[in-house]
Chains A and B, each alone.
Chain A
Amino acid sequence: MGTITTEPAAPLLAVRGLRVEYEPGRAAVDGVDLDLKPGEIVALVGESGSGKTTLARSILGLLPATARIAAGSIDFDGTDLAGLTEKQLTRIRGRRIGLVPQDPGASLDPVRTIGSQVAEVFRLHRDGRRRTRRELRAEVIRLLTMVGIDRPEERLRQYPHELSGGLKQRVLIAIGFSLRPQVLIADEPTSALDVTVQRTVLEVFDRLAKEFGTAVVFVTHDLAVATDHADRIVVMRGGRIREDRAVAEILSRPEDEYTVRLLAEAAPARAAAPAASAEEGGPAPAFALEARGLVKVFGRGGIEHRAVDAVSFGVRPGTTFSLVGESGSGKSTTARMLMRLLDPTEGSVLVDGRDVTGLDGRGKRDLWRTLQLVYQNPDSALDPRLRIRDIIAEPLLNFGLGDRAARRERVAELLEQVNLPDHAAAARPMELSGGQRQRVAIARALALGAKALVLDEALSALDVLTQAQILALLQELQRELKLTYLFISHDLHVVERISDQVGVMRGGRLVETGPTAGIFGDPQHEYTRLLLDSNPGHRLRGLAGATNH
C-alpha cells in the first residue's frame, strides 16, 4: 500500500477543511480533510460524539435541520457538494452516492411494501427510461436475489414488519446498490444486528462493493469490524481526525495515543484469568446462584413459545458466570427468572442453596437485599426526576436503615466505591454521562449490601472506552466485596474478559457450558463455533497474536 499522499490516483471524493456546526461556535466536525479513491473502503471509527456520523451525513447533504456547514468543501467528481441546493442534491443522491443506514428496523417505510420501496429508486431516477411494471418487477427481483434474499417474489408484497432485521438490512443494501453509485455511505450498517447475521450481511456488502467497484465510507464504532472490512481506517475523536492510515499500518504501528487505546480495548491480550481461586482447592463450595431445569413458556392457547427450555447452571460465590447468545435466545428471560421478576413455568431457582422459587412478595423483597439487577440502559433505569443521592439512598429509605446522616454517609461511601465524585450526589441523571449513570445504577444495587449482581447487557449501551472502565470497576468491586456476577451479554469480546464460566444459549436452550478458556479456545458445540467465527476482529486477533507471542 504505501502512503496515501504520494498515491497518484485522483480522489473521487475530497473533503477539505470541513467544519459542521450545530450551534454557532460549537463544531461537531472541525477542519477535516478526507480523500476517497474509486473502489476504496474507508472506515470512519470513533465513539459517540466523535463526529463520524456528521461527517458521513454531510457528504450526502443529509445533516439535520439544525446543522450547518460553516466552512470547507466536499469535492465530488468536480462539484462541491457543500454548495449544492437541495434540488441539485436529489439528482446525485441515490444515483451517484448511496446510503446504507444504521437501524434497519426503522429505515424502511413501515406502511409500504418491500417491492414498492425497492422499485421507488427507479421511479425517482428514470434517466430517460420509462420502465413498465413488468420490467420494474423483474429488476426488483433481480436486486433482491443479488443480496441473497430467498423467495424474492413473495417478499415484494410483504411489509417491513414481516421481515427479520437481517433481511431488512439486505433490502436496504439492495436499495443502496441498485443504481450502482460511485460512493456508498454505510452508517453503522450492522450495529443493530446479531453477530452471525452481521457476518452474512457484511459478506454481501463486501461482495457487491468489490463487484461494482463502489467506494465505501463505512462508519462504525467497532474497530474490530472496521479492521475486518476496510482498506483504510480513519480514527475520529471530538470532531477531528486523529489518524488516517491503511489497516495494516494502523494495526502494526499505530501512532496516535487515542488509537492505541482503542486498539488495546479491541484486541486485549487474553484476560489474565481473573481470580480463579474459587475454582479449585477444597470441597466445591455451594453455588451462590443456581438454575435447575428452568422453563418459561409464553403465550396461551394455540401459540406457545418456549422462550427458555430446561436451562440448568450454577454460579460459584465470588465468580462470574456469563450467558451469551443472540437476541431471542432466552438469556434475558433466564436472568429475570433468576431475579424472581418472572415466574418460571417449570424448574427452580436457588440462591445460596436455598430454593427461592416459591417466595411471595415479602420474601422477594428480602431476597432482593442480597440479589440485585443492573439494567442495560442507564437512561431508563434511573428516575429522571430524582437527584443521584436520593436514587442511591432509596433502598436504604425503603428498609428504614439509618437516619438521615447515616444514609448520607452511606451514599458518600457508595459513590466513592464506584469512583464518582462527591458533587455527583446533587446532580440529576440527565446531567451525567452514560458511564456515570451506569455507575450510579451499580451503587444503588450495592446499597443494601448485595452479594450477587445480575448484569443484564449492562455494558451494551456504552462506548468502548467507557465499557472498559466499567468493566474494570466491576472486577475491582468483585475482588473487594467478593461479589458473584451473572453477566448477560451478546458481546463475546466483553464476555471473554470478565467471565470465569460461560454458558452459550440458543433458542431457549443452554447449548454449551464451561470455563471461559475452554469455550473460547476449544468450543465443542457447533453453534458456539459459529458464534466465535462470526465475531469480528479476525485481522486484529491475528495481529495481536503475532505481536504477543
Chain B
Amino acid sequence: MGRYVALRIGQALLVVWLAYTVIFLAVQLLPGDPVTIFLSTDAAVDQATIDNMKRQYGYDQPLPVQYFAQLGGLLHGDVGYSLASGEPVAARIGGVIGSTLALALSAFATAVGLALAVVAAATLTRSAALRKLLTNLPPLFAAVPVFWLGLVLLELLSIRWGVMSLFPDGSFLSLAVPVFVLGVHVSAPIAQVLLKSIDTVYNQPFIDVLRAKGASAAWIFFHHALKNAAGPAATITGITVGTLLAGSVITETVFARSGLGAVVLQAVTTQDVPLVQGLVLLTATVFVAVNLLVDLLYPLLDPRILKSNGQGSPRALGV
C-alpha cells in the first residue's frame, strides 16, 4: 500500500516537472523571445523598449538561468508576470477562476449524474428498444459540438420562447443551461466507458452466481456491477478534466460569461507568453492532481490493483 502511494505521488510530481520543462522548451522553439513576439503586433515600439522589457522580465538571461529562476519561482508560488497587464499571472488567474470553477464543478456533477442515470436505465430496462436508444445516447452526446448545443438552446429558450435572457443575469436558467450544456458534453466519455465496462462485468461468471443466489437485476446492478465497473469509469473521469476546461472556455464564450475562458483567449491572441505558460501549467497541475486522486482511490474500488502491479498506474491498463 505504502509503496503504491509513494510511487503514484512520485510519478505525479515527475509529470508536473516534465510538463514545466516541456513548456519551457516549447517557448524556446518560438520564433523570437516572448517580449519580441508580444510587441511584434505594435509597430511603434523601438529596440530600447524591447530590451528594457526583456531585462525586466528576465528574458535577457542565459537559458539555464531562466529555467532555474522560473522553476525556483514556481516552488514559491510565483508564476511570473503578465506581459499585457504587468499583473502577477497568479493574481490574473485567481481573479477569474472562481466563476469557471463553479461552472466546471457543477457541470462535472451533472455529467456524472447523467452518465449514471443513462447507464442504470439502459442496464435495468426490460424494453430492448429503450435499451438501444439509451446506449446510443452517449455517442450522440459526444458528437454534439458544445458551442452548437449552446447556441441552439439560446435560440430556443431566449429568442423563440423568451424564458431566458441572452446574457447571464443570475436567474436559474442562465446558470443551469450552461451547466447542462457542458455537462452533456462531459458525460459522453464517462457514460461510454461505464457502458462498456458494465458490459464486461455482465459477461463474467460471477453475475450468474449472483442470479443463482436469488438476487434481482437491480440488486446485482447496484450492489455489484457498479462497483466492479467503477474503476475504468473513474479513470476516464479523471481524464475528462481537460475536456471540462476546453468546454468551459467555449461555454463561457457562448453564454457571454466571464471567467477563465476570456483570459485564455486573450492570453493566446495577444501572445502573452508568461500568462499562457501559467495557464498551461495550472491546467496540467490540476489534471495531474485529479488523476493522482483517482489513482489513490482506485484500490478502494478494486483491491486487486495493489497486488497485481505496483508498476503501472491503473490508467496504463488501458481505458
Report A-B touching, CB under 8 Å.
Answer: yes
The residues of A with any CB-CB pair to B shorter than 8 Å are 60, 62, 86-87, 90-95, 97-99, 101-103, 106-112, 120-121, 124-125, 159, 161-162, 172, 175, 185
Contact of A109 among B210, B214, B307 (CB under 8 A): B210
Cβ A159 vs Cβ B214 within 8 A? no
Residues B226-243 near A (CB distance < 8 A): 227-228
* List of 9 A-B pairs having minimum Cβ-Cβ separation, nearest first: A94-B214, A99-B212, A94-B213, A93-B214, A106-B205, A107-B205, A159-B303, A90-B214, A107-B209
Which residues from chain B contact A98 at a C-beta distance below 8 Å?
212
- Closest Cβ of chain B to A333, distance in Å, is 21
Give CA–CA (A159, B301) in the complex, Å: 12
Q: Give the residues in chain A near B213, CB-CB below 8 Å.
A: 93-94, 120-121, 124, 175
Complex Cα distance, B304 from A103, in Å, reads: 18
From B212, B217, B223, give the contact of A62 (CB < 8 A). B212
Q: Are B228 and A94 in contact (CB under 8 A)?
A: no
Instruction: Determine which residue in B217, B227, B303 has the highest number of CB atoms from chain A within 10 A of its CB, and name it.
Output: B303
Residue of B nearest to A93 (CB): B214
- B85: CB under 8 A from chain A? no
| Known A93-B214, A101-B205; further 12 A-B contacts with Cβ < 8 A | A60-B211, A60-B212, A62-B211, A91-B214, A101-B209, A109-B206, A109-B224, A111-B227, A112-B227, A124-B214, A124-B219, A172-B209
B295-319 to A contact mask, C-beta < 8 Å, 1/0: 0000001111001000000000000
> Which chain B residues numbered 177 to 236 have a C-beta less than 8 Å away from chain A?
204-206, 208-217, 219, 223-224, 227-228
How many chain B residues sit at the interface, stated as a range, is: 20 to 34
Of B208, B216, B302, most buried by chain A (CB within 10 Å of CB) is B208
CA distance A356 to B143 in the complex (A): 59
B208's partner among A95, A99, A121, A125 (CB-CB below 8 A) is A99
Taking Cβ atoms with an 8 Å cutoff, the residues of B that contact A are 204-206, 208-217, 219, 223-224, 227-228, 301-304, 307
The residue on A at minimum CB distance from B227 is A111
Q: Which residues of B contact A97 (CB under 8 A)?
A: 212
Task: Tell whether A120 pairs with B228 under 8 Å between CB atoms, given A101-B208, A111-B303, A159-B303.
Answer: no
A97 to B228, CA, bound (A): 26
Q: Which residues of A contact B211 (CB under 8 A)?
A: 60, 62, 90, 93
| Contact partners of A102 in chain B: CB under 8 A | 205
A90 in contact with B303 (CB, 8 Å): no
**Interface of A: prevailing SS:** mixed
> Given known contacts A92-B214, A110-B228, A124-B215, is B303 in contact with A161 (CB within 8 Å)?
yes
Q: How far is the CA of A341 from the CA of B215 in the complex (A)?
A: 48
Minimum C-beta distance from A114 to chain B (A): 12
Whether A125 contacts B307 by the Cβ 8 Å rule is no
User: Contact partner of A110 among B212, B217, B223, B304, CB < 8 A?
Assistant: B304
CB A88 to nearest CB in B, in angstroms, measures 11
Residue of B nearest to A102 (CB): B205
Is A161 within 8 A of B307, CB to CB? yes
The answer to whether B205 touches A111, judged by C-beta atoms less than 8 angstroms apart, is: no
| Distance to closest chain A CB from B206 (angstroms) | 5
Task: Given A110-B302, A112-B227, A159-B304, answer yes or no on A86-B217 (Cβ-Cβ < 8 Å).
Answer: yes
Bound state CA distance, A97 and B214, in angstroms? 9
Q: How far is the CB of A109 from chain B (nearest CB, A)?
A: 5
Query: In the complex, which of the residues B204, B212, B219, B302 has the most CB atoms of chain A within 10 Å of its own CB atom?
Result: B212
Q: Look across to chain B and name the residue whose beta carbon is closest to the beta carbon of A87.
A: B216
Query: With a CB–CB cut-off of 8 A, which chain A residues contact B214?
Result: 90-95, 121, 124-125
Note all chain A residues with C-beta closer than 8 A to B209: 99, 101, 107-108, 172, 175
Give the distance in Å from the alpha carbon of A432 to the alpha carbon of B182 in the complex: 51
B215, A120: Cβ atoms under 8 Å? yes
Most B CB contacts (10 A, CB to CB) among A90, A111, A161, A175 go to A111
- Pair B216/A93 contact, Cβ less than 8 Å: no
Nearest CB of A to B305, in Å: 10
Partner of A94 from B206, B212, B224, B227 at Cβ < 8 Å: B212
**Contact between chains at B227 and A93 (CB < 8 Å):** no
Q: CA A185 – CA B212 in complex, angstroms?
A: 10
